[in-house]
Structure 1
Amino acid sequence: MPVGRTGLVAAPQVFESVVDAIGHTPLVRLNRVTAAGGAAVYAKLESTNPGGSVKDRIALSMVRAAEASGELRPGGTIVEGTSGNTGIGLALVAAGLGYRTVVVVPDKTSREKIAILRALGAEVRVTPGGRPTHHPEHVRNLAARIAAETPGGWLAGQYDNPANPEAHYRTTGPEIWKQTGGRVTHFVAGIGTGGTVSGTGRYLSEVSEGRVQVIGADPEHSVYGGGDGRAYYIEAVGHFRHPETVEDEWPQSYDPEVLSRIERVGDAEAFAVIARLAREEGLLVGGSAGVSVAAALRVAAELSPDDVVVVIVPDSGRSYLSKYFDEDWVGRLGFDVGAPAAETVGAESWSGTVGFVPSTATVAEALEILGDAAALPVVLARPGSTEVVVAEILGAAVLSTLTAAPQGDLVTAHLDPPLPVVGIRETRTAAAARLADDPRPVLLADNGVITAILDRSMEEGVEWAFSRSA
């Protein structure tokens, strides 16, 4: 057996540098969340990569390709726009190979990911996430500008970089084939940049001569699977389409032809799967895993015990403790926190109407919509939509503020802070504590969608409801 330069035997789990440790991730069978009589489901735990996610693979692949082409030179700066994990992978590779890193992330990125990026030495730029693709503050546009203006700067460009799917064709696919002894029959992965599902799926389809079925897992409202493109609550998967986007371009890293079908998964189902994996399987996983594992469980339930389903679990739940595992964050959006029904805010006693001001309205138009209301949410103007999604609320249109504003201005130039949101499944104690010092109208949320607006002056209003006995 060969001996490394340190004198250690070059065994499979002994590596000469951190970049050599990327990949080689385990498969773990799911035992308690699967349906009886269906196929076996194995989760490929990408959280065991050095940077904690599947994106370490593409980070190394893209950097090595850029070095080979001369685009990235010694002492250069790696720049990328990302929801976090690709930036972490790039920062890790940069630290190991001697590069500087600048990472642009949207403001919805978990604070844990941002902290990890900074700990790895990356310079982090946070930009608003709700921007159309042509806006200069859009994540990818800002990253491209920084790369162009930085001496020695190189834009990784994961969305359109062929080294992204190639990384999975060369590593993830062969690992799965070898680990299952060629018995894998169905492969499931979330669709984000599309690199994981496209590269891995292409390899497995080829090596099995078309026997392996490739299933993409997608958030319910993502445009990949035919959704309306509105905002959802799971990071790093799917494709959001801003209503002001002129041309909706899909990543070149994504090859839809590789997929056999797409399974669409709602936020509530994804959250429930995340919780079950932690409590029943001992697997603390990230949000996108909720989408992919939910899809895998559906697929497996349709199959026989002779089939084998492999699903990518992209990262760990440790990067989302302030979000998906925080009862306050989940509860105020109206998702289930497991509280007894008698202690929750509930929806049966509320009577309200859901009015809103579209982001394209002028001040004069907003005042007309407001009428006698003290305040209404201002929401991204999505044609044909009558729902108010919490994630698409930009702020509040407040009567007293707009009365003094120029009538021809856009309402978005005169926004007040967003109105407080209360979830129907959070406890009344938690909701009352959050509203204690806020006298404004309250938005009531059910699974991320506003179902009522409650005036604090209502005779049977918020104060009564939150103080009523269980």
Structure 2
Amino acid sequence: MGKGIADSVLDAIGDTPIVRLSRLEPDLDRELLVKLELLNPGGSHKVRIALNMILEAEKDGELVRGSGQTIIESTGGNTGIGLAMAAAILGYRLVLVIPDNYSPAKQRLLRGYGAEVRLSDHTLGNNSHADMALGLLFDNPDWVMLNQQANPANPAIHERTTAVEIMDALGPRLPDALVAGVGTGGHITGVGRVLAEHQPSLRIVAVQPEGCSLRENRFVTHPIQGLAVGLVPAVLDLGLVSDEEQVSFEDARRMMRRVMRTEGLAVGISSAANLVAACRVARALPAGSRVLTFAYDGVHDYLDALPDEDVAFAEGSLAGEAR
């Protein structure tokens, strides 16, 4: 975040810190780093793409600032928060379509920003909200759909900002592995492209819920919000991906509590899945290797996913979890 006084909250996006996690796996003998994207305004990395998609649409003449035009987007929540923030400041009406099994607290938050929220039936598939949004666009052709899954402004902003921030923070010693969850695929593509140019041996690992595979185009209904949206997104450069790590919901939810108690870091369910995968990837690399992953958002919308205390003690000590 830049110095001085920002003209709006949108000018405070980015420059999130990278933290070394030395207590999560004390005997790991590898360096585990996490970029805290949850410290962005709006609480996630998605605010980066939300603003950039609007700015690019304005450049192309699709949107006119202050016009009150309607933007429609299918979003699992965090992109919606970013869009709602930007729409409130830049003068647009916003309609968001999200699956009906997503956090009620996040739904209330979106409405609080002034967005109109429509709920899709999640039992129709992981991409039910996108299908519903397309139907609404058909009925309202004057609305503008930004389409984060296919919009090149999505990975572009990560190339221009997130990747550059990582390189500035890490200096000449770039990570040996980049571990990132894939929803739209924007950040793993944007960051991966830039880092791979400077570190050709970089291993890029895509995190997916148990039972899902991007390479096999296989998806199942799952409770890890933000990952595996039911298709291989158009903006995802699958050729960058070295490997996939499937993470179960149970392993992710245990990691949520574990990282709170060892590192004082309260992350959401997909971020916890990243940490589970990053620990696995780190153990498979030579001693002294450096692994980078992301904390996308905070725990507040996912408190129901935290294991009960009695279950935690029944399953064993923190040191033995998610290993």
TM-score (norm: length of structure 2): 0.90
Match of 2:296 among 298, 314, 320: 314
**Distance change in 2, residues 1:166/1:230 (3 Å):** same
Q: Distance in 2 between matches of 1:51 and 1:17?
A: 13
Q: Distance in 2 between matches of 1:127 and 1:170?
A: 33
How do residues 156-305 of structure 1 correspond to structure 2 at under 5 angstroms? 156-185=146-175, 186-208=177-199, 210-224=200-214, 226=216, 229-240=219-230, 249-305=231-287
The alignment partner of 1:216 has SS state of strand
Higher relative contact order (CA 8 A, sep 6+): 2
**For the aligned residues, what is the CA RMSD?**
2.3
Worse-superposed segment, 43-52 or 226-235: 226-235
Match of 1:118 among 91, 99, 111: 111
The alignment partner of 1:116 has SS state of helix
Structure 1 position 340, deviation (Å) = 3.8
Q: Which amino acid aligns with 2:306?
A: F
* Cα deviation code 1:13-51 (max 9, x no counterpart): 632211111111111111211252432111111111111
Task: List runs of 5+ in structure 1 lacking aligned partners.
Answer: 1-9, 241-248, 342-470
- Say if 2:150 and 2:233, in contact at 8 Å, map to a contact too: yes
The alignment partner of 1:338 has SS state of helix
* Cα deviation code 1:327-356 (max 9, x no counterpart): 4xxx9xxxx832548xxxxxxxxxxxxxxx
Q: Distance in 1 between matches of 2:158 and 2:103?
A: 26
For the pair 1:51 / 2:42, whether they are aligned, the reply is: yes
Q: Distance in 2 between matches of 1:203 and 1:262?
A: 20
Q: Which amino acid aligns with 1:260?
A: S
The alignment partner of 1:264 has SS state of strand
How do residues 412-431 of structure 1 correspond to structure 2 at under 5 angstroms? none
Match of 1:380 in 2: none
Structure 1 position 117, deviation (Å) = 0.4
Match of 1:82 in 2: 75
Q: Distance in 2 between matches of 1:143 and 1:13?
A: 40
* Cα deviation code 1:248-299 (max 9, x no counterpart): x521011110112111111221111111011211111011012111111111
The alignment partner of 1:311 has SS state of strand
- Say if 1:168 and 1:199, in contact at 8 Å, map to a contact too: yes
- Say if 2:2 and 2:15, in contact at 8 Å, map to a contact too: no
For the pair 1:22 / 2:13, whether they are aligned, the reply is: yes
- Say if 1:112 and 1:320, in contact at 8 Å, map to a contact too: no
**Distance change in 2, residues 1:73/1:145 (3 Å):** farther
- Say if 2:181 and 2:206, in contact at 8 Å, map to a contact too: yes
Match of 1:106 among 99, 104, 113: 99
Match of 1:91 in 2: 84
**Distance change in 2, residues 1:133/1:31 (3 Å):** closer
Q: Which amino acid aligns with 1:302?
A: A
Q: Which amino acid aligns with 1:254?
A: L
* Cα deviation code 1:96-137 (max 9, x no counterpart): 211111111101101121111011111111111121589xxx
TM-score (norm: length of structure 1): 0.63
The alignment partner of 2:205 has SS state of strand
Q: Which amino acid aligns with 2:63?
A: L
- Say if 1:222 and 1:239, in contact at 8 Å, map to a contact too: no
Q: Distance in 1 between matches of 2:251 and 2:111?
A: 32
Structure 1 position 239, deviation (Å) = 4.0
**Distance change in 2, residues 1:95/1:140 (3 Å):** same
For the pair 1:62 / 2:43, whether they are aligned, the reply is: no
Higher helix fraction (1 or 2): 2
* Cα deviation code 1:406-462 (max 9, x no counterpart): xxxxxxxxxxxxxxxxxxxxxxxxxxxxxxxxxxxxxxxxxxxxxxxxxxxxxxxxx
**Distance change in 2, residues 1:251/1:179 (3 Å):** same
Q: Distance in 1 between matches of 2:239 and 2:222?
A: 25
Structure 1 position 325, deviation (Å) = 2.7
The alignment partner of 1:160 has SS state of coil
* Cα deviation code 1:338-379 (max 9, x no counterpart): 2548xxxxxxxxxxxxxxxxxxxxxxxxxxxxxxxxxxxxxx
Q: Which amino acid aligns with 1:112?
A: A
Match of 2:305 in 1: 324
- Say if 2:70 and 2:144, in contact at 8 Å, map to a contact too: yes
Match of 2:63 in 1: 72
Q: Which amino acid aligns with 2:40?
A: N
